[in-house]
Amino acid sequence: MDHEADAYRTDLMTITRFVLNEQSKYPESRGDFTILLSNIVLGCKFVCSAVNKAGLAKLIGLAGETNIQGEEQKKLDVLSNDVFVKALVSSGRTSVLVSEEDEEATFVESSKRGKYCVVFDPLDGSSNIDCGVSIGTIFGIYTMNHSDEPTTEDVLKPGSEMVAAGYCMYGSSCMLVLSTGTGVHGFTLDPSLGEFILTHPDIKIPKNGNIYSVNEGNAQNWDGPTTKYVEKCKFPKDGSPAKSLRYVGSMVADVHRTLLYGGIFLYPADKKSPNGKLRVLYEVFPMSFLMEQAGGQAFTGKKRALDLVPEKIHERSPIFLGSYDDVEEIKALYAMEETKN
């Protein structure tokens, strides 16, 4: 019997313990954020369980409605959205919720209100459910800095004002990656304990990587800088090895790999989607927040992603995020293009 390994297993840093440790650094903290986060974690566990059982429970397939983005809704999308809305409202710590699945923001009734606003995509990559590819939940948290009636203005703020962001990936393992503004930490769900355990403390993205991730099916519609960058990845002229292409088509899976292995994830604007395809509030901002906290960068083709100020809750934007040096290269190509024009 390996007593040393057993002893090690008894000292587990669960996500709850981790957040309580963080909370103790702020004597004025009342534990509101900890309660909010534990409700998000509960939502993630529920969705993880539902995803694992989807095939058996006949949850796969269309729910027959089309969501605000014009995507046909899967039953799991609907379920995940319900779970997170209910978990967030019942925490008693939220005022405004923005979900990818709901056309309008949800305003929490005054008796259950708190000081946080949560923006989230309850099930990103849901078109991949049927083939078993990793999918996930993405979320970002803002603080309300007034005690008036909440409005959508409370979430239409730059991503740099988020106090926390994260995603939960439902794949070969269920992993929750979180940043509260002091680095990025990864927690893996131990199914035997039903607890998220700290497995990836202080994640740092490599300064550059040898992987690029983009939907090359859209190449004919790209602008100049994106075309040049991808060409350079495939046919480098400086004698360096070509980069490998990896693209799942599920943002959580592609960003997760980029975060751990380095490289760059691109979803540029193109002729078909001149404003880009990914939503600012609950896709671009949380992932950009995590990338910057891990030492990478996130760029829209015009500016730092977290400096965007959205005007609508479902606004879209192009995004280039990943290793610092790789994003620096694409920034240089856009700068050259701007100088020419």
Q: What is the pLDDT of residue 164?
A: 97
- Locate 296 and state its tokens: 């990478």
The residues, ordered by sequence, that sit 6+ positions from 103 with a Cβ below 8 Å of its Cβ are: 68, 314
pLDDT band at 60 (very low <50, low <70, confident <90, very high): low
**Cα 56 to Cα 7, 51, 128, distances in angstroms:** 38, 10, 16
* In 193-339, beta strands by DSSP E: 195-200, 211-213, 244-245, 264-267, 278-279, 297-299, 316-317, 319-322
Mean pLDDT of 42-57: 88
pLDDT at position 140 is 98
Among all chains, which residue has been given the structure tokens 């000081």? 115
Domain covering 211-339: architecture: 3-Layer(aba) Sandwich (3.40)
Q: What pLDDT, on a 0 to 100 scale, did the predictor assign at position 70?
A: 72
CB 2 within 8 A of CB 10: no
Q: Note the pLDDT of residue 130.
A: 79
**Largest Cα–Cα distance of the chain, in whole Å?**
70
Half-sphere exposure of 43 (CA within 13 A, CB side): 31
Res 55 pLDDT > 90: no
Residue 305: its pLDDT value, please?
A: 98
User: Hey, where are the domains in the chain?
Assistant: 15-200, 211-339
- What is the average per-residue pLDDT within 165-175? 96
Q: Among all chains, which residue has been given the structure tokens 């550059």?
A: 208
- If you search the block for the tokens 């990587």, which residue do you land on? 209
| 210 CB burial (10 A radius; 0-12, 13-18, 19+) | middle
DSSP 280: I
Tens of pLDDT, residues 308-331: 999 999 999 999 999 999 999 999
The residue-averaged pLDDT of 10-35 equals 88
**Residue 64 pLDDT grade (very low, low, confident, very high; cuts 50, 70, 90):** low
User: For residue 228, what pLDDT is reported?
Assistant: 97
Spatial separation of the C-alpha atoms in residues 91 and 135, rounded to whole Å: 25
Q: Looking at residues 90-100, what average pLDDT do you find?
A: 97
Q: What is the pLDDT of residue 63?
A: 60
Helix axes 224-234, 324-340, angle to 10 degrees: 140
Fold: same for 15-200 and 211-339: no
Q: Give residue for tokens 């849901």.
A: 126
What pLDDT band is residue 22 in, cutting at 50, 70 and 90?
confident
> pTM here?
0.93
CB 60 within 8 A of CB 77: no
Q: Considering only the top CATH level, what class is 15-200? A: alpha beta
Could you tell me where the beta strands, DSSP code E, fall in the chain? Answer: 62-66, 72-74, 94-99, 106-107, 113-124, 135-143, 164-170, 174-179, 185-190, 195-200, 211-213, 244-245, 264-267, 278-279, 297-299, 316-317, 319-322
The rounded mean pLDDT for the chain is: 92
pLDDT band at residue 9, thresholds of 50, 70 and 90? low
Nearest to residue 214, comparing CAs of 137, 328, 100, 318?
318
